[in-house]
Amino acid sequence: MSLLKVTNLTKKFGTFTALDKVNLEVNKGEIYGFIGPNGAGKSTTIRVLLGILKATDGDVKLFDKDAWSDAVEIHRRVAYVPGDVNLWPNLTGGEVIDLFVKLRGSNNKSRREELIKKFDLDPTKKCRTYSKGNRQKVALIAAFSSDADLYILDEPTSGLDPLMEQIFQECVFDLKRQGKSVLLSSHILSEVEKLCDKVAIIREGTIIETGTLNELRHLTRTQILVDTKQPIEKLAELKGMHEIEETEQGLSFQVDTDQMDQVMRHISQFGIVKIESAPPTLEDLFMRHYEGTEKVDVSGAGGAQ
Amino acid sequence: MANNSFVKTGYLTRFILRLDRFRISLWLVGLTFFTLIVPVAYTGLYENQQERDAMAVTMENPAMIAMVGPGNIENYTTGVMTAHQMLLITAVVVGIMSILLLTRHTRADEEDGLIEMIRSLPTGRLSYLNASLLVISGVSVALALITGFGLYALGIESMDLEGSLLYGAALGGTGLLFAGVTAVFAQLAETSRGTIGWSIAILLFTYLFRAITDVSDEALSWISPLGWVTKTEAYDANHWGPIFILIGVSVLLFILANYLHAIRDLERSFLPSKPGRRTATRFLQSPIGLAIRLQRTGMIAWAVGIFLIGISYGSVLGDMETFFEGNEMMEQMFQLTEGGSITEQFIPMLLIVMAIMSTIPPIMAMNKLRGEEKKDRLEHLLGRAVSRTRLMGGYVVLSVVNGFVMVSLSAIGLWSAGTAVMEEGLEFSMIYGASMSYFPAVLVMIGLAVFLMGYFPKYTTLVWLELFYSFIVLYLGGLMQFPEWVGKLSPFDYIPQVPSEDVSVMTLVMLTVIAIVLMVIGFIGFNKRDID
């Protein structure tokens, strides 16, 4: 069942097209990663989802309701953490949390206290004294102590330290266990990789890739380090080989994942002494999409033999 | 250490000057304009000594002395009159200028983390503080010289060079002194709001202290810095002593600020900040509760201010007759006609001015919504179960109530002081009713603000222009003889001038309807547009 469905969303500011035919679908119980560089349109998309910006064209539905006209109904079931958390300098963190939770509707006092302790926030301080990380904690505590069905988190950890990031991840896993859905926009790839079931990559207002992590890995390469008894011959002539390099530990190269089988067959003829492989990271995926000009089949020019 | 603490002060001084060049120019031009326009107007209004003496009589009551200080009634030349009626009030404005300008580059920049950036560069620990002090000192000296020579250049007989320079020096000295006060509070208070708040409190306290002592025992006024300003007796006795005291105390305050700055850590303060509430009260937990909470302090300050303005206008009503007798220009300005007492005909003019002033806080309350939008804080509310209508509705209700309270307070202030000084007293229902008849015009102004917020959010400040226009047209309208349509562009012009004119219920209803229509259109626009 899809909680959130965006079809051909286009948003223009004057003549500038910020979003061009964006499609997204988040199902119940899914943690959905939404990644892209700054200015790609992540926050614009999210603000359309929340009915803060009006779509120029396309269909945006949350819980089968229109994001613009049914905004208030929808927001009763949504918890949101903005990327840039600006708070009222003369209110305390505790006051802001209560205000936020109350404005959504439900209230969970015990959860609030537990989270304040977990995130190590002093709620009696005025917001003007909070650092970026602390302001983010306020928004996160307010979001996590709400009983929502969909959590929309816009780069929620950009100001948190690693310890707090850990706690954030625990909270997201908690939500997942409860069958809640999360839309997590981020450019911290390791985080998305750890948390998300599905990923959409946006660049210059267009979604350039969507799918599960496994599906996307098809598009990427595996890093191999191999040491053989005899020197490997004709490696560079194989399909899908990249960045072949002779190192002290052996031969290092990248191979397109779908060519893995034939490459392994070829190498095994030369007597493998040692082999190490590293899984493709989202990082690679990301880089390949953002290095717009890079071609997929640039073969390793610095050949082995 | 000492020689390292001031590295690059000169460079930072130029930097601050560059940042604030428009702001500073505006203050200087504005203050100079108002300083120079008054004696020119006085020479037009009071053509001979006899007329000035008549004016002097009206100044000889405790209320006026409390307001503007003592003056030499025996020698009431144009110069003495200007210094008596204008110097103190201008000095207060100069004090406010100093407080605002200096806070920007002391505690406010520190709060925003800018001083941290500058400190990380090879600059001295005290450089930025002293750069901002140098800038404000430069502004004070410039103000003293420009107004001093400017007044002399007017070529008015009783305004000689020494008196003019003394007048300017008193203004400049006040600027320096309150720069010193602000510099010290920038070290003591933790926030820029606190700094401004404490400094303004000191300014008000010195003003009130002087008001009380001027009436009761003038010698005690020597304790108040604003007392020193009036004790210069410019254009009369020309005492320079108070100027030296002003400068001396300023230097001491500058040194104290430097000392405090040197012994404290960055972003720390001496006045401890007490921990705030751990949880929100029930009151805060709604959009309108939040709006009230954010504006509470400002609204209370405005309410007190508006009430005091009402009282001060009311306190002059007693001497009206003496004041106006035989002064043609004044009669023209206030469009006095034969029949009816002068006081009764003067009241509508006071009411217009008070109504326009009472419109300022409700418009600020309404435009706060735009301020919140610009600071990206509306999405916290709209991202939750709050509709745009409910959000804007809260601000509109707050603004309308605010306007009602302000108009009421101005009327109550005017009545209570007026009835005390007038022999025959004033009827409360007449004054209150007449004031309230301006409320529909206030509503139209609020409506305009709502409309702009809905459809032209980038131009919400235009409503201030309309208010300023209303003030110019109605206050100076009689004098300038504008054609009739000029006035019709302001909602205030349609209000019948009670008590000299009859109440026209139809006009009031029409204005209210226009206000409601503007608001409804504004709501529609706000519901349709993107939030920035």
> Rounded to whole angstroms, how far apart are CA atoms B400 and B446?
7
Q: For chain A, what is the domain count? A: 2
Look at residue A301 in the predicted model and tell me its pLDDT. 37
Is the Cβ pair B528, A54 closer than 8 Å? yes
Instruction: Tell me how close the Cα of B302 comes to any Cα of chain A, in angstroms.
Output: 19
pLDDT reading at A62 higher than 70: yes
Look at residue B249 in the predicted model and tell me its pLDDT. 97
Is the Cβ pair B285, A98 closer than 8 Å? yes
Look at residue A296 in the predicted model and tell me its pLDDT. 40
What are B531's two structure tokens?
């939030």
Minimal-distance CA residue of chain B relative to A13: B530
Find tokens 């949880």 and name the residue. Answer: B279
- Indicate the residue among A199, A216, A233 that finishes a domain: A216
pLDDT reading at B313 higher than 90: no
**In a shared domain, residues A234 and A191:** no
Look at residue B444 in the predicted model and tell me its pLDDT. 97
| Three-class secondary structure assignment of A34-59 | EECCCCCCHHHHHHHHCCCCCCCEEE
Instruction: Tell me how close the Cα of B17 comes to any Cα of chain A, in angstroms.
Output: 27
Please report which confidence band the pLDDT of residue B513 belongs to, taking 50, 70 and 90 as the band edges: very high
- Indicate the residue among A195, A216, A237 that finishes a domain: A216
- Indicate the residue among A216, A233, A252 that finishes a domain: A216
**In a shared domain, residues B168 and B81:** yes
Is the Cβ pair A125, B275 closer than 8 Å? yes
pLDDT reading at A128 higher than 80: yes
Instruction: Tell me how close the Cα of A62 comes to any Cα of chain B, in angstroms.
Output: 13
**Alpha helix positions (H), chain A:** 42-49, 71-75, 93-104, 109-119, 132-144, 162-177, 189-195, 213-217, 260-268, 282-290
Q: Is B41 on the interface with A (CB under 8 A)?
A: no
Is the separation of the CB atoms in A145 and A99 below 8 Å? no
Minimal-distance CA residue of chain B relative to A11: B530
Report, as an integer, the average pLDDT of B464-477: 85
Does residue B283 sit within a domain?
no
Does residue B276 sit within a domain?
no
Minimal-distance CA residue of chain A relative to B268: A129
User: Which candidate, B290, B280, B457, B467, places its Cα nearest to that of B370?
Assistant: B457
Look at residue A298 in the predicted model and tell me its pLDDT. 37
**In a shared domain, residues B190 and B320:** no
**In a shared domain, residues B239 and B344:** no
**In a shared domain, residues B124 and B199:** yes
pLDDT, one tens digit per residue, over A233-267 is: 888 888 888 888 888 888 888 888 778 888 888 88
Is the Cβ pair B386, A75 closer than 8 Å? yes
Is the Cβ pair B294, A90 closer than 8 Å? yes
Minimal-distance CA residue of chain A relative to B287: A103
**In a shared domain, residues A140 and A210:** yes
pLDDT, one tens digit per residue, over B48-57 is: 888 888 778 7
Contact list, A129 vs chain B (CB under 8 Å): 273
Contact list, A75 vs chain B (CB under 8 Å): 382-386
Instruction: Tell me how close the Cα of B112 comes to any Cα of chain A, in angstroms.
Output: 9
pLDDT reading at A8 higher than 90: yes
**In a shared domain, residues A169 and A283:** no
Contact list, A53 vs chain B (CB under 8 Å): 530-531
Please report which confidence band the pLDDT of residue B1 belongs to, taking 50, 70 and 90 as the band edges: very low
Domain range spanning residue A212?
A: 2-216
Q: Is B161 on the interface with A (CB under 8 A)?
A: no
**In a shared domain, residues B125 and B52:** yes
Contact list, A82 vs chain B (CB under 8 Å): 376, 379-380, 383
Q: What percent of chain B has pLDDT over 90?
A: 56
**In a shared domain, residues A254 and A207:** no
**In a shared domain, residues B116 and B183:** yes
> Rounded to whole angstroms, how far apart are CA atoms A275 and A277?
7
Report, as an integer, the average pLDDT of B459-483: 83
pLDDT, one tens digit per residue, over B336-363 is: 555 556 677 778 888 988 999 999 999 9
Per-residue DSSP letter, A92: B
Look at residue A177 in the predicted model and tell me its pLDDT. 94
Report, as an integer, the average pLDDT of A110-125: 92
User: Which candidate, B473, B441, B448, B478, places its Cα nearest to that of B358?
Assistant: B441
pLDDT, one tens digit per residue, over A167-217 is: 999 999 999 999 999 999 987 777 888 899 999 989 889 998 898 877 877
pLDDT reading at B291 higher than 80: yes
Is the Cβ pair B276, A92 closer than 8 Å? yes
**In a shared domain, residues B237 and B353:** no
Does residue B421 sit within a domain?
yes
pLDDT reading at B477 higher than 80: no
Instruction: Tell me how close the Cα of A98 comes to any Cα of chain B, in angstroms.
Output: 6
User: Which candidate, B67, B71, B37, B35, places its Cα nearest to that of B175?
Assistant: B35
Q: Which of B286, B296, B384, B391 to mutate to test the interface with A (most CBs of A within 10 A)?
A: B384
pLDDT, one tens digit per residue, over A37-54 is: 888 899 999 999 999 999
pLDDT reading at B185 higher than 80: yes
Instruction: Tell me how close the Cα of A165 comes to any Cα of chain B, in angstroms.
Output: 22
Find tokens 């007190």 and name the residue. Answer: B304
Q: Output the DSSP codes for B199-260.
A: HHHHHHHHHHHHHHHHHH-GGGGGGSHHHHHHHT-TTTT---HHHHHHHHHHHHHHHHHHHH
Contact list, B279 vs chain A (CB under 8 Å): 94-95, 98, 123
Is the Cβ pair A92, B193 closer than 8 Å? no
Other Cβ atoms closer than 10 A to B465:
10
What are A61's two structure tokens?
């539905």
Look at residue A287 in the predicted model and tell me its pLDDT. 72
* Mean pLDDT estimate for chain B: 88
**In a shared domain, residues A97 and A244:** no
Is the separation of the CB atoms in B449 and B518 below 8 Å? no
In this complex, the residue of A71, A99, A125 whose CB is nearest that of residue B285 is A99
Is the Cβ pair B278, A100 closer than 8 Å? no
Is the separation of the CB atoms in A214 and A228 below 8 Å? no
Q: What angle do CA A55, A56, A58 make, to 5 degrees?
A: 70
Q: For chain B, what is the domain count? A: 2
Q: What is the dihedral of CA B223, B226, B231, B233, to 10 degrees?
A: 180
Does residue A298 sit within a domain?
no
pLDDT, one tens digit per residue, over B227-284 is: 999 999 999 999 999 999 999 999 999 999 999 999 988 888 888 767 788 888 888 8
Instruction: Tell me how close the Cα of A51 comes to any Cα of chain B, in angstroms.
Output: 8
> Rounded to whole angstroms, how far apart are CA atoms A144 and A139?
9
**In a shared domain, residues B331 and B204:** no
Minimal-distance CA residue of chain A relative to B374: A86
Please report which confidence band the pLDDT of residue B322 belongs to, taking 50, 70 and 90 as the band edges: low
**In a shared domain, residues A204 and A277:** no
pLDDT reading at B290 higher than 90: yes
Look at residue A302 in the predicted model and tell me its pLDDT. 37
* Alpha-carbon dihedral sign for residues B254, B255, B256, B262: positive
Look at residue A215 in the predicted model and tell me its pLDDT. 80
* Alpha-carbon dihedral sign for residues B148, B149, B151, B157: positive
> Rounded to whole angstroms, how far apart are CA atoms A192 and A268?
35
**In a shared domain, residues A102 and A236:** no
Q: Long-range CB contacts (< 8 A, 24+ apart) of B215-222?
A: B215/B62, B215/B65, B215/B66, B218/B70
What values do phi and psi take at A28, rounded to 5? -60, 135
Residues 6+ apart with CB under 8 A from B423: B318
> Rounded to whole angstroms, how far apart are CA atoms B468 and B213?
36
**In a shared domain, residues A141 and A210:** yes
Is the separation of the CB atoms in A3 and A149 below 8 Å? yes
**In a shared domain, residues A158 and A246:** no
The most confident of A98-112, A157-171, B466-480, by mean pLDDT: A157-171
Q: Which of B299, B380, B529 to mutate to test the interface with A (most CBs of A within 10 A)?
A: B380
Look at residue A63 in the predicted model and tell me its pLDDT. 95
- Helix axes of B161-188 and B192-216: crossing angle, nearest 10 degrees: 130
- Indicate the residue among B219, B247, B263 that finishes a domain: B263
pLDDT, one tens digit per residue, over B190-236 is: 888 889 989 999 998 999 889 888 888 888 889 999 999 999 999 99
Does residue B268 sit within a domain?
no
CATH of residue A275: 3.30.70.260
CATH of residue A60: 3.40.50.300
Is the Cβ pair A88, B294 closer than 8 Å? yes
Residues 6+ apart with CB under 8 A from A51: A67, A68, A71, A74, A75, B382
Contact list, A84 vs chain B (CB under 8 Å): 376
CB contact residues (below 8 A), chain B span 254-273, against chain A: 273
**In a shared domain, residues A182 and A275:** no
**In a shared domain, residues A23 and A104:** yes
Q: Is B111 on the interface with A (CB under 8 A)?
A: yes
- Helix axes of B342-374 and B428-436: crossing angle, nearest 10 degrees: 40
Specify the amino acid at residue B24.
I
Does residue A304 sit within a domain?
no
User: Which candidate, B152, B145, B193, places its Cα nearest to that of B171?
Assistant: B145
Q: Which of A102, A113, A149, A183 to mutate to test the interface with B (most CBs of B within 10 A)?
A: A102
Q: Tell me the C-alpha to C-alpha distance, in Å, between residue A212 and each of A217, A288, B372.
A: 9, 17, 39
**In a shared domain, residues A122 and A252:** no
Instruction: Tell me how close the Cα of B390 comes to any Cα of chain A, in angstroms.
Output: 10
In this complex, the residue of B375, B376, B385 whose CB is nearest that of residue A103 is B385
**In A, what residues contact B, Cβ < 8 A?**
47, 50-54, 71-72, 75-76, 78, 80, 82, 84, 86-92, 94-100, 102-105, 123-126, 128-129, 139
**Alpha helix positions (H), B456-531:** 462-480, 484-488, 505-528
Please report which confidence band the pLDDT of residue B324 belongs to, taking 50, 70 and 90 as the band edges: low
Residue B105 in 3-state DSSP? helix
User: Which candidate, B176, B289, B382, B239, places its Cα nearest to that of A68?
Assistant: B382
Judge if the upstream peptide bond of residue B499 is cis by omega within 30 degrees of 0.
yes
Residues 6+ apart with CB under 8 A from B377: A86, A87, A88
**In a shared domain, residues B103 and B252:** yes
Is the Cβ pair B376, A82 closer than 8 Å? yes
Q: Is B278 on the interface with A (CB under 8 A)?
A: yes
pLDDT, one tens digit per residue, over B450-460 is: 999 999 999 99
Is the Cβ pair A86, B377 closer than 8 Å? yes
Domain range spanning residue B313?
A: 295-528
Q: How far apart are the first and last CA of chain A?
A: 54
**In a shared domain, residues B445 and B388:** yes
When computed from its CA atoms, the radius of gyration of chain B, rounded to whole angstroms, is 25
User: Which residues face A65 on adjacent strands?
Assistant: A62
Chain A to chain B, count of Cβ pairs less than 8 Å apart? 104
**In a shared domain, residues B430 and B478:** yes
Does residue A303 sit within a domain?
no
When computed from its CA atoms, the radius of gyration of chain A, rounded to whole angstroms, is 23
**In a shared domain, residues B80 and B217:** yes
How would you class A204 by CB atoms within 10 Å of its CB: exposed for 0-12, middle for 13-18, buried for 19 or more? Answer: middle
> Rounded to whole angstroms, how far apart are CA atoms B435 and A269?
101
Is the separation of the CB atoms in A157 and A184 below 8 Å? no
pLDDT, one tens digit per residue, over B377-413 is: 999 999 898 999 999 999 999 999 999 999 999 999 9
Look at residue A233 in the predicted model and tell me its pLDDT. 81
Q: What percent of chain B has pLDDT over 70?
A: 93
Find tokens 């490997």 and name the residue. Answer: A232
Please report which confidence band the pLDDT of residue B175 belongs to, taking 50, 70 and 90 as the band edges: very high
- Indicate the residue among B243, B263, B283 that finishes a domain: B263
* Mean pLDDT estimate for chain A: 86
Look at residue A113 in the predicted model and tell me its pLDDT. 92
Look at residue B333 in the predicted model and tell me its pLDDT. 58
User: Which candidate, A130, A158, A151, A67, places its Cα nearest to that of B382?
Assistant: A67
Report, as an integer, the average pLDDT of A124-150: 91
